[in-house]
Amino acid sequence: MKKFTNLPSDLVYEAALGFAAAHSNLVALNEDPLFVRRKAPNRSKVALISGGGSGHEPLHIGFVGEGMLDAACPGAVFTSPTPNQMLAAARAVASDAGVLFIVKNYAGDVMNFQMAMDMMDIEYASILVNDDVSVDSGGHGPGRRGVAGTVVVEKIVGAAAEQGMDLAACKRLADKVNACTASMGVAFTSCTVPEAGVATFEIGPDEMEVGVGIHGEPGRRRASVRPAAEIVDELMTPILKDVAAKAGDEVLLFVNGLGGTPLLEQYLLYHEAAQRLSREGLEPVRSLVGNYTTSLEMQGASITVTVLNEELKSLWDARAVTPAFKT
């Protein structure tokens, strides 16, 4: 394992210091408990707060700022933040309009956010993001994971909150965006959690993990690497089935790098996915390509599709000024 670290156990904290210093015009850091908040909070709106394990950057801290999140709580790498982080963040940024917690569907995140909410003396609601179609939500398992679609929820609901939408309506909008958003990923390599020091999973030199999670969780199947066009088709089929888009629909097409895949390859994936949409009679009227929800240095990518309407397009286009997402 080769990484830029001093002590691996200090990486998240030291990186947070660097992040806050590099973006001191937009964000402020609270060191204990650790959270990032907007430097200039808008006190008349619903406060949007997210958080999760570190290692997915820029998610979530990179999206703190005007038009997206009011605060974000980074946990240790691939580990949920603690309830006192969420509670302190809420107290720092909440207004009378209340707090919306944006939670990715992982057992640790769900439990810790719930504990924070149980202690809240401020009006709140929460939204569980579970856009990953590689996991079946039937049965008694933990259900679908929250992956790159979280960025779409944070952007669209962030814009609505900035425009004055109330808490109940923000919650309904977030559920609606989550419902019309589907994602699936594929990995060529594992990542290595710095404090673990060994790869999260083994994978052969010609293999790929189809449906991988953003912590290296197993996906749908282990397969041989194939041409990009075939990989994209394997991801797009369940995505399009899930969002139930019909010919003529307008969509957001989002190709997300998992951390170690060159932008050149991500744009090739975009090209293939856009061609697939075209064959289905769907039009990608909005686009996002880049490393937005990563898994440390994992080589791989995911594709996210959100079915749009006029309201969602307008909110997607609305002003956002954050470290990692600017309109």
Active site residues: 56, 215
**Pair type for strands 207-210 and 35-38:** unpaired
Q: Does 274 bind a second copy (CB under 8 A)?
A: yes
Nearer of residues 46 and 255 to a second copy, judged by Cβ: 255
Token pair listed for 110 = 């769900």
Q: Does 316 bind a second copy (CB under 8 A)?
A: no
Stretch that binds a second copy, among 37-45, 112-120, 145-153, 252-260 (CB under 8 A): 252-260
Site string for a second copy, 8-37 (x = CB under 8 A): ---xx-xxxxxx-xxx--------------
Q: Which residues of 242-271 are buried (b: 16+ CB within 10 A; e: fewer)?
A: bbebeeebbbbbbbbbbbbbeeeebebbbe
Stretch that binds a second copy, among 79-87, 122-130, 169-177, 222-230 (CB under 8 A): 222-230
Residue from 78, 101, 124, 270 in contact with a second copy (CB under 8 A): 270
Q: Does 306 bind a second copy (CB under 8 A)?
A: no
**Are the C-beta atoms of residues 226 and 268 closer than 8 Å to each other?**
no
Nearest to 286 by CA among 327, 236, 245, 320: 327
Nearer of residues 109 and 272 to a second copy, judged by Cβ: 272
Nearer of residues 132 and 209 to a second copy, judged by Cβ: 209
Least distance to a second copy, CB of residue 286, Å: 9
Collapse the DSSP code of 13 into the 3-class scheme (helix H, G, I; strand E, B; otherwise coil) and give the result.
helix
Q: Does 202 bind a second copy (CB under 8 A)?
A: no
Site string for a second copy, 162-201 (x = CB under 8 A): --------------------------xx------------
Q: Does 247 bind a second copy (CB under 8 A)?
A: no
Collapse the DSSP code of 324 into the 3-class scheme (helix H, G, I; strand E, B; otherwise coil) and give the result.
coil
Torsion angle, alpha carbons of 171, 174, 175, 176, to 10: 120
**Are the C-beta atoms of residues 88 and 30 closer than 8 Å to each other?**
yes
Integer angstrom CA distances of residue 268 from 237, 264, 286: 18, 6, 17
Nearest to 49 by CA among 81, 11, 22: 81
Q: How far apart are CA 178 and CA 165, in angstroms?
A: 17
Token pair listed for 315 = 């909110």
Total interface residues for a second copy by CB under 8 A: 61
* Count of positions (residues) in the chain: 327
Nearer of residues 168 and 285 to a second copy, judged by Cβ: 285
Nearer of residues 165 and 245 to a second copy, judged by Cβ: 245
Q: Which amino acid is at 127?
A: I
Q: Does 276 bind a second copy (CB under 8 A)?
A: no
Residue from 92, 169, 229, 318 in contact with a second copy (CB under 8 A): 229
- Point out which residues bind a second copy (CB under 8 A): 2-6, 11-12, 14-19, 21-23, 54-55, 57-58, 62, 77, 188-189, 205-206, 208, 225, 227-229, 231, 253, 255, 259-272, 274, 284, 287-289, 291, 294, 296-297, 299, 301, 326-327
